[in-house]
Structure 1
Amino acid sequence: MAKQRKKFSPEFKDEAVKMVLEGSRPIAQVAREIQVNEGTLGSWVSRYRQTHADEEPPLTISERARQGTGKRSP
């Protein structure tokens, strides 16, 4: 039997993204709290950042590290 996928409202997604961006909390932590897959929430945050790139200042290194979105430098 196939597993049915959950559908989330745009409002739920917006609030989840705000929890990550405004609360400066890691995606993994917020995902656990709202019971959403970490990859799913990461996609929502990434999509938000892409569509609002001109509105937000770039993340600092510590912010990227906290959110797990930065690449490590050599």
Structure 2
Amino acid sequence: MAAPKKYPDELRERATRMTVEARRDPQTAAGAIQRIAGQLGIHPEALRSWVKKAEVDAGQRAGTTSTDA
């Protein structure tokens, strides 16, 4: 049996969206994951993995998409 999710899906989506938008702007790109994770009270590595997954799913990064897994 899989472990229950620590963070709700809505929080994951919001945090990922905020990070992707922040990384587009050169003035806010540096430290975006650390800053946003701190603001939302989530672990930075969790946010980093969510962003990587979103980038793979969007075709912006090489890897296996969620639908292919």
What band does the TM-score fall into relative to the shorter chain? 0.5 to 0.7
Give the unaligned 5+ runs of structure 2.
62-69
Q: Which has the higher helix share?
A: 2
Match of 2:37 among 31, 36, 40: 31
What TM-score, normalized to structure 2? 0.62
Match of 1:46 among 48, 52, 66: 52
CA RMSD of aligned residues (A): 2.1
Q: Where does the alignment leave 5 or more consecutive residues of structure 1 unmatched?
A: 59-74
Following superposition, the deviation at residue 6 of structure 1 comes to 6.5
Taking structure 1 as the reference length, the TM-score comes to: 0.58
Q: Over alpha carbons, which structure has the higher Rg? A: 1
Aligned length: 51
Higher relative contact order (CA closer than 8 Å, sequence separation 6+): 1
The match for 2:10 is: 11
Structure 1 consecutive aligned stretches of length 4 or more whose deviation exceeds 4 Å: none
Identity in percent? 24
